């Protein structure tokens, strides 16, 4: 029996096939499906490779709304740079949910960076103050780049600052992102300077401790916190979490992985109900989101598989239309 050839999309193909505006639209679909119960999504599986000090993360998903399956495998090997290899590598498989035919295989690292930024872009659109125009980014890596790109796409950002402990990385970030986004990007020498008059704040670091102090945060700011993905990590001060309106990508996942929220919860500074609102609830109008201009809003994201599925489906549609990618050898049986 013949099946259609599988389309392979490289990192460059994914970036061309998934512009940020499309990615944000895909995230709106993803979180609506998640909160509507249209996504079957087991919690992320973690498979350690202790001898190599690495790990694999496996994220499956099924969407009844889109009649598709997706499977993402991510490997994390911190020693890889010494081998001339990236620390994080990933692939996403997209499968037809009506026939079981595999449709596409695509680079997962680029897809993950784009969809993670897009989720924050959607959150900024829904939770930041109207007229938000100043962004602050903590971190100067790949995720930080898509965070700022998404903020500029979702809001009318006119200026941005970036802080990272590595000044050289910060300078490279500013030099690259300013012409790319068409907004001035300034290096901040301290976290406090980074936060001055910021409307939208994005934290995308590997820090295990808060990257700024509670008293440095301007009133009315919106925060997208995406860097802390383990219970022992926290980018956001507990005092900020306690006084903020908190929205999560997925409550069950947050209860497993979101150290920013789990640490104050375990200290009994907050209750689970403090972060029970999902972004999909705001998308669907079940939660009003921001209530006051001076309110602090916090979107805490650990990343969920329905984001990969919806982003991959959008990328596949666009790739077919644009003639991107390579067909793998036709399979016969």
- Do 177 and 148 form a contact (C-beta atoms < 8 A)? yes
In order, the DSSP letters of 212-280 are S-GGGSPTT-EEEE-S--STT--SS-HHHHHHSEEEES-HHHHHHH-HHHHHHHHTTSS-GGGG--BHH
The H or E element spanning position 76 is: strand 68-76
Q: Which of 28, 44, 62, 72 is catalytic?
A: 72
Q: Is 326 exposed, middle or buried (0-12, 13-18, 19+ CB in 10 A)?
A: exposed
Cβ–Cβ contacts within 10 Å for residue 329, how many? 7
In the residue annotation, 72 being an active-site residue is answered as: yes
The H or E element spanning position 58 is: strand 54-63
For the chain, give the number of residues.
333
For 93-118, b/e burial (b = at least 16 CB within 10 A) is bbbebeeeebbbbbbbbbbbbbbbbb
- Answer positive or negative: Cα dihedral of 76, 79, 80, 86: positive
Cβ–Cβ contacts within 10 Å for residue 175, how many? 12
Cα–Cα distances (Å) from 330 to 69, 95, 102, 119, 333, in that order, read 20, 16, 11, 35, 10
Q: Is 294 exposed, middle or buried (0-12, 13-18, 19+ CB in 10 A)?
A: exposed
> What three-state secondary structure class fits 141?
coil
- Residues known to be catalytic: 72
């Amino acid at each position: 029996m013949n099946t259609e050839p599988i389309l392979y999309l490289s990192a460059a193909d994914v970036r061309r096939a998934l512009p940020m505006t499309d990615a944000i639209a895909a995230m709106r679909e993803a979180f609506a499906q998640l909160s509507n119960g249209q996504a079957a999504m087991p919690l992320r599986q973690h498979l350690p490779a202790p001898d190599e000090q690495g790990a694999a993360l496996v994220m499956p998903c099924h969407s009844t709304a889109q009649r598709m399956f997706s499977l993402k495998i991510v490997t994390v090997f911190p020693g890889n740079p010494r081998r001339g290899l990236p620390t994080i590598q990933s692939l996403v498989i997209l499968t037809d949910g009506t026939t079981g035919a595999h449709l596409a295989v695509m680079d997962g690292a680029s897809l993950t960076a784009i969809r993670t930024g897009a989720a924050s872009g959607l959150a900024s659109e829904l939770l930041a103050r109207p007229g938000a125009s100043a962004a602050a980014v903590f971190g100067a890596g790949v995720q930080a780049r898509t965070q700022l790109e998404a903020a500029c796409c979702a809001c009318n950002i006119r200026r941005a600052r970036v802080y990272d402990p590595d000044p050289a990385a910060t300078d490279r970030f500013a030099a690259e992102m300013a012409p790319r986004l068409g907004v001035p990007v300034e290096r901040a020498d301290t976290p406090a300077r980074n936060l001055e008059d910021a409307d939208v704040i994005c934290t995308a670091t590997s820090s295990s401790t808060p990257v700024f102090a509670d008293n440095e945060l301007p009133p009315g700011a919106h925060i997208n916190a995406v860097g802390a993905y383990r219970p022992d990590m926290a980018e956001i001060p507990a005092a900020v979490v306690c006084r903020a309106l908190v929205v999560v990508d997925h409550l069950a996942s947050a209860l497993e992985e979101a150290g920013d929220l789990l640490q104050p919860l375990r200290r009994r500074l907050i209750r689970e109900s403090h972060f029970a609102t999902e972004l999909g609830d705001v998308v669907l109008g079940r939660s009003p989101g921001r209530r006051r201009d001076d309110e602090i809003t916090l979107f805490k994201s650990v990343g969920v598989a329905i984001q990969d599925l919806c982003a991959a489906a959008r990328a596949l549609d666009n790739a077919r239309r644009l003639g991107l990618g390579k067909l793998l050898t036709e399979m016969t049986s």
